[in-house]
Amino acid sequence: MNYRELYDLWSTDTFFNESTRNELLSIKDDEKEIEERFYRDLEFGTGGLRGVLGAGTNRMNIYTVAKASAGLAKYIVANGEEAMKKGVAVSFDSRHFSPEFAKVTASVLAAYGVKVYLSDELRPVPMLSYAVRYFKAFAGVMVTASHNPPKYNGYKVYGEDGGQVPPEAASEILKNIEAFSDVRTVKMISYEEAMNTGLIEIFGEQVDIDYTKMLTELVIDKDAIARQADMNIVYTPLHGSGNKPVRRILKEIGFKNIHIVEEQEKPDGAFPTVKTPNPEDPNALAMGIELAKKTDSSIVIGTDPDSDRVGIACKVVENGEVKYKPFTGNQVGIMLLDYILNSKKEAGTLPENSFAVTTIVSTKLAGPICKYYGVELQEVLTGFKFIGERIKIDDEFGDKHFQFGFEESYGYLSGLNVRDKDAVVAAMLICGMAAQSLDRGETLFDRINRIYDKFGFGFEEAVSFTLEGKEGSEKISGAMASMRAELEACKNLEEAKKLAGGPDVLAVRDYSKSVRYIFSEDGVKTEPINLVKSNVLLYELGGDKGLDWACARPSGTEPKLKIYFGVYHSDRDAALDRLATVKKEMSDFVQSKL
């Protein structure tokens, strides 16, 4: 069917509920809006679904959720009776319709004979990942759109290791979803009918207890925490699912003075107190900072709606004035990396054959830090599923020992029992690190400056071009195609200068073709990249330490073309000047393609 035929079906057929039909009838004279809602099915990518809430095949609603769940159910059924018995763990966050979508997911799975473990209340991503492993389930579903604006929701699928499903499994699930050409053929039963099948089991407090106990085993430097137990901490869950688990673990490990931003404590899918519930945005911590000033807190922590990302601000005194300054995700990442490795090395508990994992668009300072401690650093594509995959391969089934994983977008992980970014363990570690710093008479800013003094200055930034809808998607695809065409036409080092709008380009990694192009005066050489294919172009720019880079990639979860930059230098001011130049030239270059 074309988009118009689908619209007519959805707006008139009584299979669709009255609210859906009324919503669609209200746009009957808006042809562009009708096309946007029905020109395609909401895309099921490697992480699942994410889209704007509303009626239509290209929107998040009970019917697109049911169709995705049916595709997952078919995948599980195809894996045999044992997989069906192992079942699926399902959780949800505070977003609009998250509880309803979770119940639809459970009902459809049960209709196909699949066992379901359904959370009795909102619980975050890391606890869903943990629940998959706790129940030895075959898969997991988390209903969330992470840090997106309120109009979004989403549906993330997990494998039996607790990590997001790898591309191969996602492809099989997608095939099953696409096989339902008509959503009316999906087995949809009411939640009450599904409960009567006996296949849905509700889980709650016991998982909380076990998860918290697991986290206590990951504490670093317990003595410093004990000595600084009275340290004042401000925490805001930003209306999301982190409220209970974060407060629970901080109390459990001994912190006594945890101040909660009351206006942001309760779950609310409208996120009324922030422009966006994203701790990457320092403005999201504004209310927390105001409370910190009143309570003389050392640190402010904020988690996003599904509590897989965490942002922080630290107290500093400048010219007698108390201020709270935020850290970037990269800064927190390298501080935690150094904190964990240094503390374990001093305690004699850092195993041989240890490794850490980060992503290709995260800070390159992780490399020299890991080298200093004799730890292997692995780089993977953007997406925490790839970090989880390395844990599975090299620790769970290998002879190496995972210590820490992080990505620049404020995601961190320690331990083996969760396989996605975990803002709960990160909050615990950050507070422990702040306590250790306070115990040594320093702030976290003193700590990051010690790292810079030791390993060199590194600064990273990112720019996003938001392009929504069908037209936006086409522009993003066109821009990437244009940059790739120029790369393939480049013949030598001199011509390579044009590939990023100005900075010298020594090499380019095209992850879509798994090829690295290396430029010289004599021409171009190529070498393979041993990672799965992805629509990413990374430009190697040399620089003072030979580590500078810029990268272009379409977001996998938002309608954005994202541009990343990293610059490294022995001198702070020189690094910042170079970053400003690279950022402007690369941004202008990419924008010219849109």
Res 178: pLDDT: 94
Helix axes 62-78, 98-111, angle to 10 degrees: 40
At 513, which CATH number? 3.30.310.50
The answer to whether the CB of 357 falls within 8 A of the CB of 376 is: no
Residue 583: HSE in the Cβ half-sphere, 13 Å Cα cutoff: 15
Residues 79, 182 within the same domain: yes
Res 103: pLDDT: 98
Q: Which residues pair with 313 in a beta bridge?
A: 300, 326
Residues 157, 76 within the same domain: yes
Say how many Å lie between the first and final Cα of the chain, rounded.
31
What residue type is assigned to position 274 of the chain?
V
Tokens for 491, please give them. Answer: 């013949």
DSSP state of 393: I
pTM for this prediction: 0.94
Res 161: pLDDT: 96
Residue 543 burial (CB count, 10 A): 21
Which position among 146, 298, 307, 437 bears the catalytic label? 146
Mean pLDDT is lowest, of 174-188, 292-306, 555-569, for 555-569
Listed residues 426, 455, 484: the one ending a domain: 455
The SS3 call for residue 524 is strand
Phi-psi bin for 132: left (phi > 0), alpha (psi -120 to 50), beta? Answer: alpha
Residues 312, 421 within the same domain: no
Residues 376, 287 within the same domain: no
Residues 373, 254 within the same domain: no
Q: Where do we find the tokens 């941004």?
A: 587
Catalytic annotation present for 146: yes
Closest CA to 277 of 236, 313, 227, 216: 236
In this structure, the strands spanning 548-554 and 560-569 are antiparallel
Res 330: pLDDT: 97
Alpha carbon distance 189, 106 (integer Å): 10
Residues 473, 443 within the same domain: no
The SS3 call for residue 390 is helix
Buried b (16+ CB within 10 A) or exposed e, 381-417: bbbbbbbbbbbbebbeeeebbbbbbbbbbbbbbbbbb
Decide if 7 is inside a domain: no
Which element (helix H / strand E) includes 75? helix 62-78
Res 167: pLDDT: 84
Alpha carbon distance 335, 355 (integer Å): 16
Calculate the alpha carbon distances from 520 to 493, 523, 545, 586 in Å: 5, 5, 19, 21
pLDDT mean over 553-570: 90
**Would you say residue 556 has pLDDT above 90?**
no
The answer to whether the CB of 515 falls within 8 A of the CB of 533 is: no
pLDDT mean over 177-192: 95
The SS3 call for residue 378 is strand
Res 40: pLDDT: 94
Report residue 358 CA to chain centroid gap: 13
Residues 104, 233 within the same domain: no
Residues 356, 406 within the same domain: yes
Tokens for 588, please give them. Answer: 């202008």
Instruction: For residue 383, name the pLDDT band (cuts at 50, 70, 90).
Output: confident
**Would you say residue 46 has pLDDT above 80?**
no
Residue 139 burial (CB count, 10 A): 25
Which element (helix H / strand E) includes 6? helix 3-12
Decide if 413 is inside a domain: yes
Q: What is the mean pLDDT of the chain?
A: 95
Over the Cα atoms of the chain, what is R_g?
Answer: 24
Give residue-wise pLDDT tens across range 313-364.
999 988 889 999 999 999 999 999 999 999 999 999 999 999 999 999 999 9
Residues 68, 115 within the same domain: yes
Calculate the alpha carbon distances from 528 to 382, 496, 553 in Å: 18, 19, 19
Alpha carbon distance 308, 270 (integer Å): 19
Residues 444, 405 within the same domain: yes
Alpha carbon distance 450, 436 (integer Å): 14
Residues 397, 336 within the same domain: yes
Tell me how many domains the chain contains: 4
Residue 342, judged by CB atoms within 10 A of its CB (0-12, 13-18, 19+), counts as middle
Q: What is the 3-state secondary structure (H, E, C) of 81-103?
A: HHHHHHCEEEEECCCCCHHHHHH
Give residue-wise pLDDT tens across range 427-437.
999 999 999 99
Decide if 390 is inside a domain: yes
Closest CA to 284 of 296, 266, 269, 272: 272
Sign of CA dihedral 473, 474, 475, 478: positive
Share of the chain above pLDDT 70, in %: 100
In this structure, the strands spanning 537-542 and 507-510 are antiparallel
In this structure, the strands spanning 376-380 and 116-119 are unpaired
- Residues in CB range of 58: below 8 A, 6 or more apart: 36, 37, 38, 39, 40, 41, 42, 51
Decide if 2 is inside a domain: no
Decide if 425 is inside a domain: yes
Report residue 406 CA to chain centroid gap: 10
Res 264: pLDDT: 98
Res 491: pLDDT: 92
Alpha carbon distance 122, 67 (integer Å): 22
Residues 85, 168 within the same domain: yes
Tokens for 189, please give them. Answer: 């039963």
Decide if 20 is inside a domain: no
Listed residues 300, 326, 352: the one ending a domain: 326
The answer to whether the CB of 72 falls within 8 A of the CB of 56 is: no
Res 504: pLDDT: 86
At 279, which CATH number? 3.40.120.10
Give residue-wise pLDDT tens across range 232-281.
999 999 999 999 999 999 999 999 999 999 999 999 999 999 999 999 99
Listed residues 307, 326, 345: the one ending a domain: 326
pLDDT mean over 61-79: 98
- Residues in CB range of 408: below 8 A, 6 or more apart: 328, 329, 330, 333, 359, 361, 362, 363, 460, 462, 564
Q: Which residue range(s) make up the domain with 467? A: 458-591
The answer to whether the CB of 421 falls within 8 A of the CB of 386 is: no
Q: Which residues pair with 568 in a beta bridge?
A: 458
**Would you say residue 47 has pLDDT above 80?**
no
What DSSP line would sit under 273-302, residue for residue? TSSS--TTSGGGGHHHHHHHHHHT-SEEEE
Sign of CA dihedral 9, 13, 19, 23: positive
Tokens for 163, please give them. Answer: 């990590």
Tokens for 58, please give them. Answer: 């290209």
Decide if 182 is inside a domain: yes
Decide if 164 is inside a domain: yes
pLDDT mean over 153-179: 94
Give residue-wise pLDDT tens across range 87-120.
999 999 999 999 999 999 999 999 999 999 999 9
pLDDT mean over 206-233: 98
